[in-house]
């Protein structure tokens, strides 16, 4: 599932909203952290839907935890699916884990770069893409420590993209 060229965008921050709204014509898209809107009240969600009618939105998810041992939470997926339906055709997810069981790690944490992890993440990516009926981007993370891995980051990402049928986000400066 290939994505079109997105162009140049900026991350939406509520404290910058007036400046962003004044300069929408200069932007090809806005990147919005999806988790900031999943449980937002109706007024805030309506604002995002109205914004999506003016400029393309890319939902940047930070809590899907594609690399966790547990399945992705169905409540999270349902809310994310509704938000995506209301606002965008595009989304971005990190190649990481953010929780283990009931414990929220609180950070984007690197995964072991192994063939088994490629299997796990690629399966989840295909399942979520199928569920939403749309592709999304994968993004590698910046990390301060590396876990024992049998593959280089570049080899891991290339294989993961190939097996999941997705595109990379283009932040290639993060590949070691």
Residue 63 contacts by C-beta under 8 Å, 6 or more apart in sequence?
35, 76, 98, 99
CATH architecture, domain 9-174 = Alpha-Beta Barrel (3.20)
Q: Answer whether residue 174 shows pLDDT above 50.
A: no
* 96: enclosing H helix or E strand: none
Instruction: Output the CA–CA distances (angstroms, integers) from residue 39 to 35, 83, 88, 132, in the order listed.
Output: 8, 10, 17, 19
pLDDT at 4: 60
Strands 90-94, 97-100: pairing is unpaired
The pTM (predicted TM-score) of the whole model is: 0.77
**pLDDT > 70: percent of the chain:** 90
Cα dihedral: 22, 24, 29, 31 (round 10): 10
For residue 114, count other CB atoms closer than 10 A to its CB.
15
Phi-psi sector, 37: left (phi>0), alpha (psi -120 to 50), beta: alpha
Each residue of 71-120: pLDDT tens digit? 888 898 889 888 988 887 667 677 787 877 778 877 788 888 999 999 99
Residues of the chain with pLDDT > 90, as a percent, come to: 29
Domain boundaries along the sequence of the chain: 9-174
Residue 80: which region, alpha, beta or left (left: phi > 0; alpha: psi -120 to 50)? Answer: alpha
């Amino acid at each position: 599932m290939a994505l079109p060229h997105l162009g140049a965008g900026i991350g939406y921050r509520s404290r910058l909203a007036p400046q962003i709204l004044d300069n929408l014509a200069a932007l090809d898209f806005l990147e919005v952290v999806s988790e900031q809107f999943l449980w937002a009240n109706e007024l805030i969600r309506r604002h995002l839907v109205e914004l999506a009618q003016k400029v393309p939105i890319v939902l940047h998810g930070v809590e899907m935890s594609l690399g966790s041992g547990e399945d992705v939470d169905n409540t999270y997926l349902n809310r994310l699916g509704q938000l995506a339906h209301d606002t965008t055709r595009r989304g971005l997810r990190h190649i990481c884990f953010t929780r283990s069981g009931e414990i929220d790690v609180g950070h984007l944490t690197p995964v072991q770069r192994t063939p088994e992890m490629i299997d796990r993440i690629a399966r989840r990516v295909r399942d979520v893409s199928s569920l939403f009926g749309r592709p999304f981007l994968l993004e590698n993370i910046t990390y301060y420590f590396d876990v024992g891995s049998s593959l280089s980051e570049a080899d891991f990402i290339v294989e993961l993209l190939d097996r999941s049928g997705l595109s990379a986000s283009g932040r290639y400066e993060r590949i070691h």
